[in-house]
Chain A
Amino acid sequence: MSFLQKKRYKIPEDDSDPMLPFMSLLLIIIPVLIGNIAFYHFKAIELNTPGVSKNENSNEDVIPEEEDKNKDVKAIIKTNINTVTEIELELINEDTGDTLEIKSFPLTPDMNEGEEEVERVIAQINEVIQSYKKLYPRLDAMLLSIDRSLNYQDILPMISILQSSIEEKKRDEGDGVDVKKILTMVLIPTGSSESEES
């Protein structure tokens, strides 16, 4: 012990600051981080227009036997966004054009503020879509019809809610969550002709 102590005292005293190696490391890390900094955090909502409506994420589900009567019915959900206070889901038989069911989901004014409120609406719509999907296994698309008088700011949160509603989250083998879209969102552009006619 005394030998070690003696030896330690013999080490020449280093005049440089002990923080200098850390400083050098920071000076390397900071330019690398500056190069990869994101000044804007975007959120994008994927939409298709008629023409490409194949859902890459959807797989052919096994149809249970008790749902045989509806398995050949090609149903589609038409979502009407006419006001900022309501989202309307309309289940349509694609072959006959008949409306099978209409459901409305009121939106509260604090929708843009409260995340809990948004989560609640997403869960409600998701539940309805899942029940439709069980009844009509060939249901694979959600059409979006948006009123032309609304602003981009009004419609974007509503489309975002719908986007989250068509996602099915499952835990994968690891601890991660596998997100799968059960429907393809198809935007229906009406163009100027419709409004001019009306």
Chain B
Amino acid sequence: MSVKGGLSFSKMSERPNAKLQITSLMDVLTIILIFLLVNYSDVEQDTELPDFVELPLLLGKESLGGKENSTMAIGKNKIKLNKNTEIQFNSYQKEKDKILEDIHEQFTALIQKASLDDENKFKNENEKEGSIKVVLAIQADKDVPYEMIDDIVMVASNSGITQFEFVGLKKD
């Protein structure tokens, strides 16, 4: 297959033992396999991390939680509950009342949806008792003041949500 001699297909087909060289491909696949095995998780990960939130890092070996069924992302200028529309604001202090009112509406809708789901799920009244359980995971940006989180927890408590998970990124 020299340049001087030109490319001849007939010559190529006549070459004995034409094998596919897979050694380099094997190396790549082995590296990918190791990377995937390290990052493998047997828990289905539905939780997305919005781009406006940078979570703080946490030390620790165990990954607790995973009971959440609703997620609230709190950024410096945006708040988002599950897949609802984002609540955007310029200054939390100035627009606090309106923001908290919007959040309260979203929480109320969430609780109503959860209770409707439970009604469909549990036909028996005894089973239904105490089954409405909304666990809210809070993913707040690392620079968000606790004041904001405190207000939101307060609104959530008033709406009937009493279980929370504060989420951080596990530091390796």
A interface with B by C-beta (< 8 Å): 15, 17, 19-20, 22-23, 26-27, 29-30, 33-34, 36-52, 112, 115, 118, 146-157, 159-160, 163-164, 179, 187, 189-192, 195
Complex contacts, A23 vs chain B, CB 8 Å: 22, 25-26, 29
Tell me, in angstroms, the Cα distance from A137 to B74 when the chains sit together: 39
Contact B164 A187 (CB under 8 A): yes
Q: Once bound together, how far apart are the Cα atoms of A22 and B167, in whole Å? A: 40
Ordered nearest first, which 5 A-B pairs have the shortest CB separation? A44-B65, A38-B41, A153-B142, A33-B36, A44-B165
A-B interface pairs (CB < 8 A), number: 179
Q: Which residues of B sit under 8 angstroms from A146, Cβ to Cβ?
A: 146, 150
Partner of B154, one of A43, A46, A189: A189
Asked if A19 and B56 sit within 8 Å, CB to CB, the answer is: no
Q: Mark B21-37, 1 if CB is under 8 A from A, else 0.
A: 01101100110110011
Given A42-B168, A152-B142, A153-B143, verify A37-B65 contact (CB < 8 Å): no
B114 within 8 A of A: no
Q: How far is the CA of A30 from the CA of B156 in the complex (A)?
A: 42
Given contacts A43-B168, A153-B142, A189-B154, contact A195 B147 (CB under 8 A): yes
What distance in Å separates the Cβ of B6 from its nearest Cβ neighbour in chain A? Answer: 27
